Structure 1
Amino acid sequence: MKTLGLAGWSGSGKTTLLVALLPLFRAQGLTVSTIKHAHHGFDLDRPGKDSFRHRAAGAHEVLVASAARWALLHENAGEEMDFAALLARLSPVDLVLVEGFKRTPYPKIEVFRPALGKPPLWPEVPEIIAVACDAALPGCDRPVLPLNAPSVIAGWVARHLPLATPAQSA
């Protein structure tokens, strides 16, 4: 599976870009999954629901299933799962878009907004293959893509990775 990350500081627009790119890749006939890294605790479950009660009672994993979707809630006991192990849990797709995991070695586009006042990641992170930015970046040694033009970014990704569409695979 091809993997492409979106890395950047909080508030840079990683999620906004990811959700803009997803339908563009899907329109090309690609199957796409996502992985999102959270730096803080999170919960997909709600107090009072049976699955929440299962976890609260000590279940190591709780699988919730319906006709529409299923979700597996796995308790890590304070140990974060390895990125490769997370990828291995996904069903095969054409592309996995990853938000976060900026220090993990896999190809990424940095989402960078100079107005945030944060330093760029690209000088220190060799896996950044391009920078999506809303301003000029003099001195950047990576391709600079227009942050507010997701279709341009999707086209660049399709050429760079290269992504095989179902028509090309046949």
Structure 2
Amino acid sequence: MVILQVVGYKNSGKTTIAKELITYLASEGIRIASLKHHGHGGLPIGLEKTDSEQHKQAGAYVAGVLGEDVLQVSHSGDWQIQDILLIYQQLGVEFLLLEGFKKLTFPKLVLLKNEEELSLISSLQNVIGIITTAEINASAVPYPIFHFDETNSICTWVYHNYREGWL
């Protein structure tokens, strides 16, 4: 199972990019799933109008959310990310998109709203690309830089890297 993270500060566009990637990869016949880290406040009750429901509607085979030690399925407890990943793998997921979970070490696409947020990159491991709404000097970072509006290019790039085994 290939795992890719989409990370950034709150309201940076992570869910929007995640939905685009899910829609694109699902249309290519990939059994894609998502898992969102809910890092602020309690977990929402029900699924209507949640990011994970948007992921599901975009084509995710499985969509979950983890917050305050609760995985939104019908079980709560001391969830460890490795246990959750095993569940997704057991379900036959080929590609797992993690939204958030900045401290994990899987390949990451980092969303930045402005050049000042570049400092986030130094605290992360395994960055493979940047998605931004700002003008960032390409020589300032050793990663491909995509503009937030280039969703087709982002999706194509991720798909190519997946198919070539670089993810």
TM-score class, shorter = 0.7 to 0.9
Aligned residues: 136
Query: What do residues 6-42 of structure 1 show as CA deviations (whole Å, max 9, x unaligned)?
Result: 0000010000111122111111111111000111321
Unaligned segments of structure 1, at least 5 residues: 47-70, 165-170
What corresponds to 2:113 in structure 1?
A: 113
Q: Percent identity?
A: 22
Q: Which has the higher contact order (CA 8 A, sep 6+)?
A: 1
What corresponds to 1:55 in structure 2?
A: none
Quote the offset at 1:114 in angstroms: 0.5
- Name whichever structure is richer in helix by fraction: 2
Relative to structure 1, the CA distance from residue 135 to residue 45 in structure 2 (aligned partners, 3 Å threshold; closer, same or farther) is closer
Quote the offset at 1:118 in angstroms: 4.0
| Superposition TM-score, scaled by structure 1 size | 0.71
| Superposition TM-score, scaled by structure 2 size | 0.73
SS of residue paired to 1:86: helix
- Which of these two proteins has the greater Rg computed from alpha carbons? 1
Matches within 5 A, 1:8-157: 8-39=8-39, 40-45=41-46, 72-76=73-77, 79=78, 81-90=79-88, 91-114=91-114, 118-138=117-137, 139-157=140-158
Note if contact 1:83-1:104 (Cα within 8 Å) is conserved in structure 2.
Answer: no
- The Cα RMSD (Å) is 2.2
